[in-house]
């Protein structure tokens, strides 16, 4: 379906931006597939080099999608592939911090937490960073983003009540599949 919409939009239409963002979100929402996620990331990189790059909102928003996809790939690969995605995460982190915009800062904090988790750092320390990210989202009125981060932080802490409180907020926003929504927005997992 995404390919059909791309063909309808034409090669230079700005609709490709939204299509690519939907694809990135969906690829994180569904069960991780390395090939599909890698292709979604490639499309996001292409967008980053497009004429849209001159728009501050675009740079931060696209960076948020790049962050989610690179994080999902880092958690679902091993060895050299994982190291590649961690390098991508660091690059995206720098771009997000340069955006100097609260939603970008929230995503950068989430990337920091993911890097620490991948290094085997304390889950409580990672959860604290994710909670800080949620506070940035909440300050911007991004209730869903904040709630998904709070859910992820509670899961890292093994805090069933905190996870249920966050899940209640997420369901209250009309989301029926809380786990998939959290995976799409906050693709953090315990590293075994």
User: What CATH number does residue 43 fall under?
Assistant: 1.25.40
Q: What tokens appear for 62 in the block?
A: 């696209």
Q: Is residue 83 part of a domain?
A: yes
Write the pLDDT tens digit of every residue in 85-134.
999 999 999 999 999 899 999 999 999 999 999 999 999 999 999 999 99
Domain count for the chain: 1
Answer for the pair 157, 127: CB distance below 8 angstroms, yes or no.
yes
In the predicted model, what is the mean pLDDT of the chain? Answer: 88
93 in a structural domain: yes
Which tokens go with 50? 């497009």
CB 72 within 8 A of CB 180: no
Indicate if the pLDDT at residue 191 is higher than 60: no
Supply the range of the domain harboring residue 144: 14-185
Q: What is the pTM of this model?
A: 0.88
Top-confidence residue, 33 or 175: 175
The pLDDT of residue 31: 72
pLDDT of residue 192: 42
On whether residue 1 sits in a domain, the answer given is no
Domain membership flag for residue 2:
no
- Position 3 in a domain: no
User: What whole-number distance in Å separates Cα of residue 139 and Cα of residue 183?
Assistant: 22
Share of residues in the chain with pLDDT > 70 (%): 89
Residue count of the chain:
192
Mean pLDDT of 24-49: 85
């Amino acid at each position: 379906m995404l390919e059909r919409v791309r063909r309808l939009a034409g090669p230079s239409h700005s609709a490709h931006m939204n299509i690519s963002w939907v694809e990135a979100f969906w690829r994180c929402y569904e069960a991780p597939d390395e090939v599909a996620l890698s292709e979604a990331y490639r499309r996001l990189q292409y967008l980053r080099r497009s004429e849209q790059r001159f728009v501050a909102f675009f740079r931060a928003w696209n960076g948020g999608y790049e962050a989610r996809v690179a994080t999902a790939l880092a958690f679902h690969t091993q060895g050299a592939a994982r190291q590649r995605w961690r390098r991508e995460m660091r690059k995206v982190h720098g771009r997000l911090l340069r955006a100097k915009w609260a939603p970008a800062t929230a995503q950068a904090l989430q990337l920091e937490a993911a890097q620490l988790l991948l290094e085997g750092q304390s889950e409580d320390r990672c959860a604290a960073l994710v909670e800080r990210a949620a506070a940035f989202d909440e300050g911007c009125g991004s209730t869903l983003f904040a709630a998904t981060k709070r859910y992820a932080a509670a899961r890292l802490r093994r805090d069933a009540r905190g996870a249920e409180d966050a899940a209640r907020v997420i369901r209250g926003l009309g989301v029926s599949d809380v786990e998939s929504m959290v995976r799409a927005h906050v693709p953090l997992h315990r590293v075994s």
